[in-house]
Every structure is written in C-alpha cells, then in structure tokens.
Amino acid sequence: MTDDQPPGPTGAADAVLPAEAVVDLDAVAANTSVLRERAGGADVMAVVKADGYGHGLVPSALAALSGGATWLGVAHLAEGLALRAAGVTAPVLAWLVVPGQDLTAAVAADVDVSASAPWAVEALAAAARRTGCAARVHLKVDTGLSRGGATADDWPDLVRAAATAQADGSLEVVGLWSHLASADDPAQDGLTRRQVERLAEAAEVAARSGVRPPLRHLANSAGVLAHPATHLDLVRPGVAVYGVSPAPGRASAAGLGLVPAMTLRARLALVKHVGAGEGVSYGHTHTTAAPTRLALVPLGYGDGLPRHASGGGPVQVRGRRYAVAGRVCMDQVVLDLGDDDAARAVRAGDEVEVFGTGAGGGPTAQDWADAAGTIAYEVVTRIGARVPRRYVGALADQGVPAAAR
Ligand SMILES: *Cc1c(COP(=O)(O)O)cnc(C)c1O
C-alpha cells in the first residue's frame, strides 16, 4: 500500500529536484581564512583538484581566493587550464603529468608544473622553447610518502637538470616541495618531523647546485592544523577548505572552526506501509521487525553514496536520524521509519538531509565515512555529476558561480 497522503511540495516556483548538493561558498571562504590564520605567515594554496573535492572546481577556487588563498593547487593540467579558461589569474600548480604529455598549453597559460624526474624538466623546457615563455617548475622530493617526488638518491640529477634548463632561460624553478604521509596521525608525528628535515636537506643539496627558489612547501590540511614546523613558505590545504576535518582522530571540523560546505539533500520519492517480516532492498539484508513505513531516498552509489555504508549510512528525516535499511542501490536507498507518530508524519516529497554541516545533530560526511569504513574526503569527492550543485552564500549571490559555470 502506498502512502495515502498527498505529497509534500506542490506548485513550488523553483524546480523540484530528486536530489541536490548545496555548496555554501561563504563556508569555503571562511574555512580558507581560518587556515590562513593557522598557517601563520605562510601563503595558502587552496587545493581544488577533483572538481574541488566534489564541490565544483571554479566556484571553490574563487571562494577560496576570496577567503585569502593566493595560490591554487590541482593534480591535472586540464584542471589548471580550466581555471585559466574561467579567468582565474592566481598562480596555479599542477602536480601530476606523465611522459609524452603535451605541456605547451600549461606553459602558455602560466600554469606551474611539478617535476619529480629529469624527463619532466626536459619536457617543460621543450614546451618553453615552443611557446617562448619560461616554464615555471616546482621540484618535488620524496621525503617519506613514497608516492611522487625524487628519492634522495635521484634528487641531485633532478636538480642538475633543472639548473641546466634554468641557466638557458627556458625554466624558472619556483619551488621545492614534498607531501606529508601521516600528518593526521598523532602516532606518526616522528615521521612528519623527519619529512621536514628531509625537505631541508634537499633544499641544501639544491642550493649547492645554485638552485635556490623562493618557495618551499610541504603541508596538507593536517600539516596546517597540527604541525607548525611544516608551514614553511606556502601551505596546501585541500579537504579542510571544504570544512572537513583531515584528522577526525585529532579534532572534529567544528573543533577546528571549520564549516562543512556541502549539504546533500534529497526528496523522498515514496513512503509506504509494509508489514512485519518483509525483506528490504537487494539481497534482503534488512528485514522489517514490525509493521512499518519505508521511505525511498533517490540517491545511491551511482551518485557516489558508498555502497559499503549499506545498513548504516545516516539520513535525517524531519529532525530524526535513520540508518539506511539494507543495501545501497545504484540510484536509491530505503529507510525503515518504524510506525510511531514521527514516522506517520513523513510524506513523499519531504526533503531529507543525507549529510551537511552537522548543525542540529544532522549527519555529516564524516558519519558516512565512519559507516562505510572510509574517509570523509572520499565521501564528498565522489558525489557525482548526476547530482546538481547549487551554490549559496553571499559569494554565490554576487554571481561567483555564474561566472564560473
Ligand atoms: C591532495 C593534496 C593536497 C591536499 O591534501 P589535504 O589532505 O586534502 O589537505 C596537498 N598536496 C598534494 C600534493 C595533494 O595531492
């Protein structure tokens, strides 16, 4: 039997959507200014890779710049070029290139590129000769993450290649940098200290080859918030810009003065009565214990909700939290509301909150991460393109995202 009550919203002027991600650009700006304060004298490079961790590349970038960031960081060249195409003139660093990739557009657009090996330096110098502008490079040293960056053994060769290209004017070495492995984990603070020392040692080696760039940078969000020794000249916070704690074991977002910028909302597509003993969703991993109401939320793993949060992901309905009943499907999840007065008040069309700021006891991306055994970074970043973004806040009213999209 379907819900016999008429659905909630009728005749709304705004388009009624099954789901949307509301992004508060003022929160992005405010979080950036908190990070800037925490970074002491260091400049802030707001990391906006992966579509601004799912929040929108250009709107996030503009909001972060208005909050005091002076640099933007991205993984891919295409992300840096998209910022330039949107009219962003702030310095941009892109750190993930592969051999054979055409770097000409990046050099022409004044996008700084990271080099972890001599081939990257040579490719940048070649692109510089083609465009007639010097390429701006940040040399990356591996100080302990064992991901990007030259090892201490390979570092002298990288520095020598850069010194040669710099001498002939095709290259400008702007920075020396590295990335932290475990700054979120208090049990590994010794490693963070060693990474600071290894970057300093790499800078000495570079200086002996005459490479003395103006910038050294190391800190991610957790470095900014927990390790002042990592701040150096420039910090590269990502997840904290969006109001998500990089280290929930150290401090919550609220405890850090950060406001989660993304709120994921949906409208219930259906509310219906079912009896006791009914299996719910694929595989019947949930069974109704008593006569109850089931509510259908039009979001699933196709929208980025983690399937690992089956049976656990929280959704706020009329001020009450319910865990997803049974499996997360591609497009939908089911809530088992029970049959009390609160459940009986729930209507198809009601707006529900999947995650947001946590105000009023609502669920957060961190709660979804906990339910899925992952990190909140992944939860917000994977909210997919099928979910429309709506930008709010004074910055949005000033047309920031309009310029951006
Ligand atoms: C993603 C990334 C960052 C930002 O990390 P957060 O933990 O989100 O602050 C900084 N630097 C590099 C190289 C990255 O890949």
Residue owning tokens 């969703």: 281
| Amino acid identity, position 121 | V
Give the pLDDT confidence score for residue 7 in this predicted structure.
53
CA 62 to chain centre: 15
Task: Verify that 181 and 82 share a domain, yes or no.
Answer: yes
Of ligand 1's listed atoms, the one at least distance from the Cα of 53 is 8
Report the 10 Å Cβ neighbour count for 308.
Answer: 16
Cα of 147 from ligand 1 centre, angstroms? 12
Kindly state the average pLDDT of the residues 164-177: 97
Residue 292 inside a domain? The answer is yes
Between the CA of 48 and the centroid of ligand 1 the distance, in Å, is 9
CATH number, position 88: 3.20.20.10
Asked if residue 237 and residue 293 are part of one domain, the reply reads no
Taking Cα atoms as reference points, which of 234, 259, 227, 263 lies closest to residue 245?
Answer: 259
147 labeled part of a ligand binding site: yes
What are the structure tokens assigned to 85, written together?
């195409």
pLDDT score, position 398? 84
Which tens digits make up the pLDDT trace of 294-315?
A: 999 999 999 999 999 999 999 9
Active-site residue, 282 included: yes
Total domain count, the chain: 2
Same domain, 51 and 170: yes
Beta bridge partners of 136: 172
CATH (domain of 316): 2.40.37.10
Contacts of 188 (CB under 8 A, 6+ apart): 181, 182
CA 392-38-358 angle, to 5 degrees, is 40
Range of the structural domain that residue 328 is part of: 261-387
Share the mean pLDDT of the chain.
95
Same domain assignment for residues 59 and 183: yes
Give a yes or no: residue 20 inside a domain.
Answer: no
Strand partners, 367: none
Side-chain-facing half-sphere of 125: CA atoms under 13 Å: 17
Check pocket membership of 237 for ligand 1, CB cut-off 6 A.
Answer: yes
**Quick one: 354 and 206 in the same domain?**
no
For residues 186 and 348, what is the distance between their CA atoms, to the nearest angstrom? 46
| pLDDT at residue number 12 | 47
Is the model's pLDDT at 203 over the cut of 70?
A: yes
Q: What pLDDT, in 10s, does the model give residues 101-146? A: 999 999 999 999 999 999 999 999 999 999 999 999 999 999 999 9
Residue 276 shares a structural domain with residue 237:
no
CB of 47 sitting under 6 A from ligand 1: yes
- Active-site residue (options: 242, 282, 301, 377): 282
Position 399 scores a pLDDT of 74
Rounded CA separation 294/2 (Å): 10
CA 68 to ligand 1 center in whole angstroms: 18
Q: Is 223 in the pocket of ligand 1 (CB under 6 A)?
A: no
The answer as to whether 212 is a domain residue is yes
Q: Tokens 């597509």 — which residue?
A: 269
SS3 content of the chain, % helix, strand, coil (to 5): 35, 20, 40
- Strands 351-355, 333-338: pairing kind: unpaired
C-alpha distances in angstroms, 354 versus 293, 363, 366? 19, 7, 11
- When pLDDT is averaged across residues 186-201 and rounded to a whole number, the result is 97
**pLDDT at residue 56, as a whole number:** 98
Task: Judge whether 347 is annotated as a binding position.
Answer: no
Statement to judge: residues 236 and 267 lie in one domain: no
Pocket test for ligand 1, best of 145, 199, 220, 227 (most atoms within 8 A of CB): 220
Q: Are residue 196 and residue 324 in the same domain, yes or no? A: no
Which of 49, 301, 322, 391 is an active site residue?
Answer: 49
Cα–Cα distance list, 201 to 142, 152, 183 (Å): 12, 9, 20
- 36, 146, 236: which to mutate for ligand 1, most atoms within 8 A of CB? 236
